[in-house]
């Protein structure tokens, strides 16, 4: 895979069915969560919060970082996943940094998200980027415990 770059995401409702299906697949494989296409289309993804898609030179989506604005200071990561074939190559860190820059430029200072409690790699990544666990979500994921993590952008 060559020429990967993070670019501002259009609202899900304006993405093609093919692109939504690719995102649906990435989310299912990387997180185990299954979203119906109609649910993906309705996610409140905000450009000003730093929502991004990771594109290959071949115009294939290889990663998703969708974020929403909660209030004038706070953003919430809705989805953050990257194709497992390109994990640990720095794409997640670059996307996270770019998301933070965009969100801060629109006045946001705080980010929070939910993550499966057994996803140690993700938790380590978020800790490295300044987030700390602030609560447990016993029924957030289908039969699995989740963690609420938050921190400064």
- pLDDT in tens for each of the 153 residues of the chain? 568 999 999 999 999 999 999 999 999 999 888 999 999 999 999 999 999 999 999 999 999 999 999 999 999 999 999 999 998 899 999 999 999 999 999 999 999 999 999 999 999 999 999 999 999 888 776 778 899 999 999
Three-class secondary structure of residue 130 per DSSP = coil
Question: How much is the pLDDT for 31?
Answer: 87
Residue identified by tokens 């990663």 is: 63
Distance from C-alpha of 54 to C-alpha of 73, rounded to nearest angstrom: 25
22, 60 Cβ separation under 8 angstroms: yes
Question: How much is the pLDDT for 132?
Answer: 98
**Full-prediction pTM beyond 0.85?**
yes
6, 98 Cβ separation under 8 angstroms: yes
Structural domains of the chain, with CATH = 5-108 (3.40.630.30)
Question: How much is the pLDDT for 46?
Answer: 95
Question: How much is the pLDDT for 50?
Answer: 96
How do 61-69 and 74-82 pair as beta strands? Answer: antiparallel
């Amino acid at each position: 895979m060559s020429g990967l770059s993070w670019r501002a995401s259009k609202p899900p409702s304006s993405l093609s069915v093919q692109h939504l299906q690719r995102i649906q697949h990435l989310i299912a494989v990387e997180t185990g969560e299954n979203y119906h296409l109609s649910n993906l289309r309705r996610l409140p993804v905000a450009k000003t919060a730093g929502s991004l898609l990771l594109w290959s030179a071949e115009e294939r989506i290889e990663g998703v970082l969708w974020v929403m604005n909660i209030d004038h200071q706070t953003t919430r990561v809705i989805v953050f996943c990257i194709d497992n074939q390109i994990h640990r190559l720095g794409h997640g860190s670059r996307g996270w940094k770019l998301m933070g820059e965009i969100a801060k430029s629109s006045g946001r200072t705080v980010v929070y998200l939910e993550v499966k409690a057994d996803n140690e790699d993700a938790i380590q990544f978020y800790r490295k980027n300044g987030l700390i666990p602030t609560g447990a979500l016993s029924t957030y994921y289908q039969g699995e415990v989740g963690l609420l993590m938050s921190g400064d952008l």
